[in-house]
Amino acid sequence: MKKKIRAGLAGANGYVGTELLSLLSMHPNVEISEISGASSAGRKIGNKIVKNEIDPAQCDAIFACLPHGEAGKIVPNWLKAGKVVFDLSADFRLKNHKNYDDWYHAKHPAPGLLKKAVYGMPETNSEKIKRADLIACPGCYTTATILGMLPAVKKGLVKSNIFVSAVSGTSGAGKKTDLSYLFCEVNENLSAYSPLVHRHTPEMEQELSIAGGKKVSVSFVPHLGPFNRGIYATITADLTDKKITQDAVNKAYLKEFSHDEFTVVRDEIPHLKDVRGTNYCHIYPLVDARGGRLVVISVVDNLVKGAAGQAVECFNLRFGLNKRAGLNLKLGWI
């Protein structure tokens, strides 16, 4: 029997950390060796006691589900100890530390590691992920947006100004004690927040610019919806040529994702329920011939494909495992 990989999980008390713990506990190649969580320290999960800090000596790989700014302080120590790190915070996603400083309103805690970090999107970076020791797992909104626009940008089907309107379930806000997230505020309600200044914006621009080989500008308006989990994104951009047909777009999208396990191009409008509790991204591209625009609907579960599941995908790639390992079961505890 093949020896299991010892995995540590830092930050198990949040929604993403809890989801990741569920996935890793079902993974056939993983032994959860260490669990930490500031507000859960001393509590027993399975046969493990939640600690204040991870002991890297007990781990082969460490998943960090920590707030931005906190992960960057401790990740350097884990790397020095020779561990493979999967960071689910925003600390190592942006290549330019000035962008981080500007958008997160804080000095980057470890700017010297930004060049070392590999952006953890399997659809775009699988070969680099296989060789990386620091994988920066993408944000939830960015996952839906980048995958939704990736083929169009790569093939030069759209111009460089992109508009994104996306609705997220309340779990995307994390476990906060805030008036905005109380049941009576969210239920039967829908509201925009952080329009045009959301922190995932530079991440979208960075990765789509890399994919298209030219600077891409994103105007992003996120919304909070009255449901627990999921992201429903509508992405629009002007076509580079109004003669581009629906058939040409369909072919570009199907070809781009033909070898990807979890990204599905649909021929009908997707629903959040189609992806809830799964590691799938469902995409529906639509040509607006009258307006000369491309409209793309992209849906993911923010806790799985938008966070924990994508991290497990990267883990599987990095350790040469079956890409679907630990990702076949439908979750959804909230």
Which conformational region is residue 176 in: left (phi greater than 0), alpha (psi within -120 to 50 degrees), or beta? beta
- Distance (Å, whole) CA 140 – CA 120: 12
The active-site residue out of 59, 65, 137, 140 is: 140
Please give the structure tokens belonging to residue 272: 């959040």
Please give the structure tokens belonging to residue 82: 């020779």
The CA-CA-CA angle for residues 112, 117, 123, to 5°, reads: 160
Instruction: Find out whether 122 and 317 touch, Cβ atoms under 8 Å.
Output: yes
Cα pseudo-dihedral 224, 227, 228, 231, rounded to 10? -60
Q: What is the residue type of 61?
A: A
Tell me if residue 140 is catalytic. Answer: yes
* Distance (Å) of CA 5 to CA 229, 257, 287, 318: 29, 29, 46, 11
Catalytic residues: 140
